[in-house]
Amino acid sequence: MQIEFEFLYALLLLLVIPGLYILYSKYNSEKKESILKFSSLKIVKKSIMGKNFLRKHLPFVLMIGILGLTIIGLANPQIPTLSVEKSINLSIVLDGSESMAASDYTPTRLDAAKGAISNLVTKIGSQNNVGVVLFESGATTISYLSPDKEKTVNAISSIEQGQGATAIGDGLALGIDMASSIPDKKGVVILLSDGVHNSGLVTPDEAIDYAKINRIQIHTIGLGSVEPVYLRDDIYGEPQYAELDENTLVTIAQETGGNYYKSLDEQTLNEIFFTLSSNLEYEMEYSTIRDWFVAASIGLLLIDVYVIYGRYRIVA
């Protein structure tokens, strides 16, 4: 069973337990030395025989159990209960830079991406809103957030190939604004890029921080190929190839609670979008089990009180 902790840092308090054990051992050791020093062996033997070893140390063991359960309860442990359907604001952020004209996808990377995105949009439920952002040297809105899927698909089909650089940060910032513009829905961004961030006003790290502030989840898709893809020769006649910065895309996804997907051709790209369409509207719901630990802690406390002060009490 998978357990999540809302306040994971609270578990650091468990480090107190080994310290208490050391102090307890030291206390008992000094007490034993004192008895040996001031009492006869006969008295010591009688004292040891008169008290059961387990009963002698049971109050401390129970106290440690109470402390451990209380600390775990403070961390608010949670377990997954079920996957629940959530209505979402979905913002699709598409790379339209020069490298997306590469023909290793049929007919080009951009056209393959447009087709896969359109298929996803048609499968999104009517209760969800979808919008599209296109970026190259800057970012622009292609289709505003709307439940009208036909309008969104038509806007996607109108996207034309650009010749600019790759402003991933700008595209994400606009997509995050879009996903958070309508309240009371889960905000999700799908970022699709085949390049390296090299333009724009917003860095990917700044976009990540912005997504966290707005509680936006970002899934990233990296478009690439098995072999390097030639783009053009630079002004010095040197060949230039399309590059994919997977590290940045992985970081964006991980930091915002999303997933990173690697596409190598139009088939894997369609498979990725099929997976997204199946899982996008569902998320795991967690229920707290903190009360279980609180109840167990109270139960041990009552046992400890009885052991110390009850019929078989150790301490008078």
Residue type, 233: D
pLDDT tens digits for 141-176? 999 999 999 999 999 999 999 888 899 999 999 999
Confidence of residue 50 (pLDDT cuts 50, 70, 90): very low
Q: Which two tokens stand for residue 25?
A: 């051992």
pLDDT tens digits for 253-292? 999 999 999 999 999 999 999 998 877 765 556 788 999 9
> Nearest-CA neighbor of 100 among 88, 115, 112, 92?
112
Percentage of the chain with pLDDT > 70? 84
The pLDDT of residue 316 is 46
Confidence of residue 244 (pLDDT cuts 50, 70, 90): confident
The pLDDT of residue 312 is 57
Q: Is the pLDDT of residue 42 over 60?
A: no
Of residues 285 and 197, the one with the higher pLDDT is 197
Confidence of residue 59 (pLDDT cuts 50, 70, 90): confident
Q: Is the pLDDT of residue 34 over 80?
A: no
Q: Which residues contact 226 (CB under 8 A, 6 or more apart)?
A: 264
pLDDT tens digits for 72-125? 999 999 887 655 556 899 999 999 998 898 888 989 999 999 999 999 999 888
In the block, residue with structure tokens 């498979």: 271
pTM of this structure: 0.65
The pLDDT of residue 37 is 55
Mean pLDDT of 282-309: 84
In the block, residue with structure tokens 């040297």: 137
Q: In terms of DSSP bridges, do strands 216-223 and 186-193 run parallel, antiparallel, or are they unpaired? A: parallel
Do residues 202 and 247 touch, judged by C-beta distance below 8 A?
no
* DSSP string for 36-67: HHHS-HHHHHHHHHHS-HHHHHHHHHHHHHHH
The pLDDT of residue 29 is 78
Q: Is the pLDDT of residue 49 over 70?
A: no
Do residues 252 and 219 touch, judged by C-beta distance below 8 A?
no
CA atoms lying within 13 Å on the CB side of residue 28: 10
CA distances from 14 to 41, 78, 109 (A): 39, 18, 53
Percentage of the chain with pLDDT > 90? 54
Q: What is the mean pLDDT of the chain?
A: 85
CA distances from 29 to 33, 37, 42, 98 (A): 6, 12, 19, 76
Domains defined for the chain, CATH in brackets: 4-79+288-309 (no CATH), 87-280 (3.40.50.410)
Please provide residue 85's backbone torsions phi and psi, each rounded to the nearest 5 degrees: -80, 130
Mean pLDDT of 52-61: 75
Confidence of residue 314 (pLDDT cuts 50, 70, 90): low
Q: Is the pLDDT of residue 221 over 90?
A: yes
